[in-house]
Amino acid sequence: MDISIKTALKKAKRKQLLKIIITSIIVVLILLPIFYKTGNYFAAKGSTRLHDSLYLHNAIAEPNIQIDSQVTANSSMFGGNIISNRSKNINGYVVPWSTLTSSYDWLRYDIDNNELVPGFHWSDTNFYEYDKQTKNKVATFYHPSIHEYFDGVQNELSEVSQMKNYVAEVAISFDKPYTLKEIQAKIPDNLNIVWLYMASRIADESKGPSGVSVYGFEPSSSPKDAYKGFIDALKKYDDSGRNEPIQEFLNSNKNKKWDEVGILGVMLTGQSQNFKALENQSFVRGASVGATAQIVPYIKPEK
C-alpha cells in the first residue's frame, strides 16, 4: 500500500478517535450536572420521608419523649443520615434521652430501631428496661387484657414516693379502660398527665418482654384536638392497614366521641412525694417508674 495512503488512514483514525474523545467529554459534561441534580433530588425526597417518619413515630409511640432537634448529617447525592436529639421533660426538668442516627437513600430509609428498643437488665434481684445511651430506667405500661407478665405487674409507687427532693415520671396502667374525665377525677392536681396510653398489641409476656410498641399521645391543652391529630397520625403511620393493634383501635373507636374513648393508662410526672396519693388505689393495676432527676434550688418544678 502506498505510504501516503497509510499516512492518510492514520490521520483519519486519529481524527475519528479525537472526535470520539471530544464527544464523550461533552456528553459527560452535560450528563454529570443532570445526574448530580437528579441524585440530589431523590436524596432530598428520601431525607424528607425519613424526617416525616421520625416525627410521626415520636408523636404516637414515644411516651413523654420530645425531639429537641433533627439534623441531616453525612449527606450526599446518594443519601445520608438524620440525627434526632431527644429528651424528656420531668416536671420541668429536662433529662437527656438516646440520640437516634437513622439513614436514607434514594429508595428507602431505616429508622434507628436499635436505640428505639430499650435494653433489658436481667439478674437474680432485678429486671427492668433501660435507655441504652443514658442508662435511665424506662417506664413500662401493662395492658389490662394481658394477665401474666414475666416479672409480674410492678407497682413502684411506694418506692418513688419515699424519694426526697426528686422529680419523676411514672407509667400508670389501669385495671380497665377509663375516659379522660374519669381519669382527671382520680389523678391529684399536683401531678402532670403528660401522655395517654391508648393501645398496644396483646402478646405473650409470660416468658419475657416481647418488645411491643405502645401507642398514645400527649393530651396538651386541648385533649379533644390532640386526639383528632392522634387518629390522623395513626392512619398515616399504618396506611397499609397491616398493624393489628392500630387497626383494631381505629375500628373499635370510629363511632365514639372523644369523651367516650377508653384510655389504658397515663404517664405522670411530678415531685416524688406527690405520688403517695395514688398508693393502694384500686384503679391502678401497675405503676412503673421511669426517668428521675434530683431537685436543685435553681430549677423550679412545674408542680
Residues 189, 193, 198, 202, CA torsion sign:
negative
pLDDT (0 to 100) of residue 38: 64
pLDDT (0 to 100) of residue 142: 95
Contact between 192 and 301 under an 8 Å Cβ cutoff? The reply is no
pLDDT (0 to 100) of residue 12: 59
Tens digit of pLDDT for each residue in 152-170? 899 999 999 999 999 999 9
Radius of gyration of the chain (CA): 28
Per-residue pLDDT, averaged over 268-284, amounts to: 97
- SS3 call for 221: coil
pLDDT (0 to 100) of residue 146: 92
pLDDT (0 to 100) of residue 10: 62
Per-residue pLDDT, averaged over 256-273, amounts to: 97
Helix 223-237 and helix 3-61, axial crossing angle in degrees, nearest 10: 140
Q: Is the pLDDT of residue 174 over 80?
A: yes
* pTM for this entry: 0.86
C-alpha cell at 8: 492518510
pLDDT (0 to 100) of residue 2: 59
Q: How far apart are CA 212 and CA 237, in angstroms?
A: 16
Work out the mean pLDDT of the chain and round it to a whole number.
90
For the ranges 10-14, 213-217, 233-237, 299-303, the lowest mean pLDDT is seen at 10-14
SS3 content of the chain, % helix, strand, coil (to 5): 35, 30, 30
pLDDT tier for residue 6 given thresholds of 50, 70 and 90 = low
pLDDT (0 to 100) of residue 92: 97
pLDDT tier for residue 179 given thresholds of 50, 70 and 90 = very high
Long-range contacts at 41-44 (CB < 8 A, ≥ 24 apart): 42/106, 43/75, 43/76, 43/77, 43/78, 43/79, 43/80, 43/104, 43/105, 43/106
Tens digit of pLDDT for each residue in 103-145? 998 888 889 999 999 998 888 888 889 999 999 999 999 999 9
> CA 220 → CA 3, 217, 301, distances in Å?
93, 9, 18
Write the DSSP symbol of residue 189: T
Which residues are registered as beta bridge partners of 269? Answer: 169, 192
Report the percent of the chain where pLDDT is more than 70: 88
What are the b/e assignments for 124-144, b being 16+ CB within 10 Å?
Answer: eeeebbebeebebbbbbbbbb
